[in-house]
Amino acid sequence: MGLLDWRDDFSIGIPEVDHEHRLLIDLIGALHERLVEQQQGAGIGEFLGELHSQISAHFALEEKIMRSRRYAGYPDHKQDHERLLDEIRDIMDGYELHGRYDAGELGTALETWFGEHFRTHDARLHRLRGGSHA
């Protein structure tokens, strides 16, 4: 059981986006487990960097899809993306600086963010997509 589990209602119906969402949730879960098991294990910083990179790439893809579909909520959604990336970078810096990391902080941040993001923005994209399909 990770921090966050994939739920079917996360699916927005675009296979590549859903695929990456699943990957990310898995990655976050793996990171969390690792942290819980060996609190100050080596390579955590780089693991965070890996996560950051994958989320960046994922957002880049999502943004491309939103632009190509002329999604009206694009600016807000994009801003939200930047905000999360920034928060992860802060956590990365915090870890580097203090050599330690608060599992609760990351968990909460990611969970809140992802939950919220899925619920609002991606869901809107989903609805838009459903609408255009009908």
Partner 1 sequence: MERAFGARWNPFAQLGALGWFCFWLIAGTGVYLYIFFDTGVTAAYESVESLTHRQWWAGGIMRSLHRYASDAMMVLVLVHLFREFAHDRLRGVRWFAWVTGVALLPLIYACGVTGYWMVWDRLAQYVAQTTTEWLDALPLFAEPLARNFLDSGHLSGRFFTLMAYIHIFAPLALLLFMWVHIQRHSGARVNPERGLALGTLAMLMGLSVAWPALSQPAADLGRVPMELPLDWFYLAVYPLIDRYGGAAVWLGGAAVGTVLLLLPWLPPARRPPAAVVDLDNCNGCGRCFTDCPYGAIEMVPRTDRAPYSQQAQVDPDRCVSCGLCVGACPTATPFRRAKALKSGIELPGLRAAELRDQVVAMGGALATRPRILAFHCGHSAPLPPSDASFGVVHVPCIGMLPPSFVDFTLARGHADGALLAGCRSGECHFRLGDRYTEQRIAGERDPALRERVPRGRIGVSWRGMIDRRRRRADLSAFREALLREAPAAPARAGCRPAWSFVAQGGLYALLALTIGAFSCWPQYRQLARDEAVVKLSFSHAAQRVEPCAALTAAELARLPINMRVRTDCRRDRWPVTVNLMLDGRLLYLGTHRPAGLHDDGPSTIYRRFAVPVGPHVINVRIRDTGRSTGYDYEARRGVNLQPGQSFVIDFASSGNGFIFPVTKE
Residues near partner 1 (CB under 8 A): 15-16, 19-20, 43, 45-50, 52-54, 56-61, 63-64, 82, 85-86, 89-90, 92-93, 96
> Taking the CA atoms of the chain, what radius of gyration do you get in angstroms?
15
Q: How far is CA 73 from the centre of its chain?
A: 18
* Buried-state track 107-123, b at ≥16 Cβ within 10 A, e below 16: bebbeebbeebbeebbe
**In the complex, what is the shortest distance from the CB of residue 134 to partner 1, in angstroms, rounded to a whole number?**
21
**In the complex, what is the shortest distance from the CB of residue 91 to partner 1, in angstroms, rounded to a whole number?**
12
Which CB sits closer to partner 1, 3 or 17? 17
Which CB sits closer to partner 1, 59 or 118? 59
What does the alpha-carbon distance between residue 37 and residue 26 come to, in Å, rounded to a whole number?
16
